[in-house]
Structure 1
Amino acid sequence: MTFGFIGTGSMGGALARAARRRLEGGQILLANRTEAKAAALAKELGASLSNNRTIAGNADYVFLGVKPQMMGDLLAEIGPELRIRKDRFVLVSMAAGRSVADIQAMAGGDYPVLRIMPNTPCSIGEGMVLYTPGPGVTEAEVQVFLESMAGAGRFSPIPEKQMDAGSAVAGCGPAFVDLFVEALADGGVACGLPRAQALEFAAQMVLGSARLLLESGKHPGELKDAVCSPGGTTIQGVRKLEEAGFRGAVMNAVIAACEKGGNVK
């Protein structure tokens, strides 16, 4: 079983690292437009440096880790290799806004396509990966993918029509959270904390709060209320966030990302 990654940028690299937690280095093929980047990752993982056409012609799972705008050119390049294959393979697309049907049309065949939306925390095994098996992808192939990529974090099946919405939350969300953590740290610095300490406090707080939410099963509003003592400091901070339209701003960020995902050209 071989997993080939075409594109070893932030997302492709994160998934390759996740795959290496379950697969042997020899089972992982890496290619990138800038070969030096793929070579560095191959050395790090003990994986094999390859190229687009070799991966397209040989890997059991071909990960298409390029930007949506570049997908057409990539599939045109590797299309001839895909067409002459007689063995079974699955195309794994992580391109925002590109449907299973889009990938098949650009590839020039009704190939099995597994559409996924991972996020950058996959690189440390704490990711959230959404997936939609296209027509022709067998349950066995989905299970091999899930077992081999289990080192990425959590996985959730999702109807393709909801992929843009899921991507806006799970895929774009790390950037929103990073912005929030940076703002928290800036506030701490404004109050006199050293920068490094403020960042540590903010990051660990977010990590712990997320785990508490997932493991307790409680509604976030209930957990928020547990911190807000009557007449206390936290409720005053919450009041200021509400005055600034914090929740509305976050909702609008998700909606904007979702709408953009549905209109990728």
Structure 2
Amino acid sequence: MGGALATAVSKAVNSADVLISDMNKQKAEDLAKTIGATATSTEELVAEADFIFLGVKPQYLENLAKEIKPYLDKRTNRFVLVTMIAGMTIADIKNFTRMDAPVIRIAPNTPVAIGEGIVLYTGSFEVTDEEKEAFVSCLSEAGLVTEIPENLHAIGLTLGGCGPAFVDLFVEALSDGAVACGLPRNQAIAIASQMVVGSAKLLLESGKHPGELKDAVCSPGGTTIQGVRVLEEKGFRGATMDALIAAYEKNFALKK
């Protein structure tokens, strides 16, 4: 995910100004070469960057915090820590770094890699409006960047992060049905995928309720309403809601 975000940022700003560091030096150099960024040491990155993205796994945060704190303490200019570490709150980041620095907590999803993703963010009280504006501008090529209260991060991440898997399953099921009716597999997947893209764009651009757009396709006595009837009989709507709620509740089980 860190690489996908770095790619998005490199498209929104001068790519050479994007600094990349990784425990695997070769990995950082390869990514930097691909997107035109600058591979550097962790020390140099935290000493210079305006927005410092923390993308390590939770179990590595304590060691990372110890590594970067001496360099952050020496800084005289403002910086913002940006955390995408799963399950880590703004308070957690401040506790590990033992600093009251501005912190932005983000929850991105995989489609940010192609500029069609979602980045949910929450800023600590120290983050200024100007810094939020600059942050959103940096990630403008990632997709939708929207601010939410921190207590809604779990459900926001579940919807935006788990949702792609649910959509992929839906596309696969649709294409399976089309194949069963004689359509070649590659065409079935292409048609189903484009249908999802087009439907989502229409929903976003029209501003209409999903039910209204659904009703517009369901002609009286037609084919679509019969398909909708079967989906309702099989519990499609309830199963989808239950799947999202189950994924949401798993967030809290993982923290125990």
Structure 2 residue 156 is matched with structure 1 residue 166: yes
Give the partner amino acid of 2:126: G
CA distance in 2, matches of 1:256, 1:68: 22
CA distance in 2, matches of 1:133, 1:229: 47
Cα-to-partner distance string for 1:26-82 (whole Å, 9 max, x where unaligned): 211112333333222211111111233332232111111223444334323323332
Give the match for residue 247 of structure 1. Answer: 237
Counterparts in 2 of 1:48-127, with a 5 A limit?
A: 48-127=38-117
**TM-score if structure 1 supplies the norm length?**
0.89
Select between 141-150 and 229-238 the one with higher mean Cα deviation: 229-238
Specify which of 160, 170, 183 is matched with residue 180 of structure 1: 170
Deviation at 1:207, TM superposition (A): 0.4
**Inter-CA distance 185–76: structure 2 relative to 1 (3 Å threshold):** farther
Structure 2 residue 145 is matched with structure 1 residue 155: yes
| 3-state SS, counterpart of residue 62 of structure 1 | strand
Give the partner amino acid of 1:259: E
Deviation at 1:96, TM superposition (A): 3.2
Give the match for residue 16 of structure 1. Answer: 6
User: Residues 109 and 117 of structure 2 are in contact (CA less than 8 Å); yes or no, is this contact kept in structure 1?
Assistant: yes
CA distance in 1, matches of 2:64, 2:223: 54
**TM-score if structure 2 supplies the norm length?**
0.92
Give the match for residue 214 of structure 1. Answer: 204
Deviation at 1:203, TM superposition (A): 0.8
CA distance in 1, matches of 2:60, 2:162: 19
Deviation at 1:161, TM superposition (A): 0.9
User: Residues 154 and 251 of structure 2 are in contact (CA less than 8 Å); yes or no, is this contact kept in structure 1?
Assistant: yes
Give the partner amino acid of 1:160: E
| 3-state SS, counterpart of residue 151 of structure 1 | coil
User: Residues 139 and 145 of structure 2 are in contact (CA less than 8 Å); yes or no, is this contact kept in structure 1?
Assistant: no
| 3-state SS, counterpart of residue 218 of structure 1 | coil
CA distance in 2, matches of 1:140, 1:263: 37
Higher RCO structure (Cα 8 Å, ≥6 apart): 1
Deviation at 1:189, TM superposition (A): 1.9
Give the partner amino acid of 1:30: I
> Cα RMSD (Å) of the superposition?
1.8
CA distance in 2, matches of 1:181, 1:119: 18
User: Residues 9 and 15 of structure 2 are in contact (CA less than 8 Å); yes or no, is this contact kept in structure 1?
Assistant: no
Gaps of 5+ in 1: 1-10
**Inter-CA distance 186–53: structure 2 relative to 1 (3 Å threshold):** farther
| 3-state SS, counterpart of residue 154 of structure 1 | strand
CA distance in 2, matches of 1:177, 1:35: 35
CA distance in 1, matches of 2:239, 2:43: 44
User: Residues 96 and 167 of structure 1 are in contact (CA less than 8 Å); yes or no, is this contact kept in structure 2?
Assistant: no
CA distance in 1, matches of 2:137, 2:116: 15
CA distance in 2, matches of 1:238, 1:79: 57
Structure 2 residue 216 is matched with structure 1 residue 226: yes
User: Residues 93 and 114 of structure 1 are in contact (CA less than 8 Å); yes or no, is this contact kept in structure 2?
Assistant: yes
User: Residues 132 and 159 of structure 1 are in contact (CA less than 8 Å); yes or no, is this contact kept in structure 2?
Assistant: yes
Deviation at 1:263, TM superposition (A): 4.9
Gaps of 5+ in 2: none
CA distance in 1, matches of 2:238, 2:194: 25
- The percent identity for this pair of structures is 56
**Inter-CA distance 138–237: structure 2 relative to 1 (3 Å threshold):** same
Give the match for residue 7 of structure 1. Answer: none
Cα-to-partner distance string for 1:128-177 (whole Å, 9 max, x where unaligned): 22111112111111111111221112221111111111111112212221
Give the partner amino acid of 1:184: L
